[in-house]
Amino acid sequence: MGFKDSINISYALVYEKNIKMVSQMIRRKVNLKKKSGIPKLRETLFRVIGNKYGKKSMG
C-alpha cells in the first residue's frame, strides 16, 4: 500500500467520517480474500491517522 493511498483514505476519513465507506475503500485497494487481514490493517491505519491528526487536536 503506497503513501498516496493512505493519504486518500485519511482524507476520506476526515471528510466522510464514515468508517464503513473507508473500510470499503481499504477492501478495494488491498483486495484481501481473508477478512482477518482487514481489522488489522484498519487498526494500523487508524493508528497512523491518529498520530497525524490526534497530536494536532491535542494542541
Q: How confident is the model at residue 21 (pLDDT cuts 50, 70, 90)?
A: low
| Domain coverage including residue 36 | 3-58
Q: Which amino acid is located at 55 in the chain?
A: K
Which residues make Cβ contacts (< 8 Å) with residue 54, sequence separation at least 6? none
Going by C-alpha positions, the residue among 59, 56, 53, 54 that lies closest to residue 11 is 53
Domains: count for the chain = 1
Whole-angstrom distance, CA of residue 48 vs CA of residue 1: 13
Per-residue pLDDT for 54 more than 70?
no
Q: State mean pLDDT over 3-26.
A: 67
Share of the chain above pLDDT 70, in %: 24
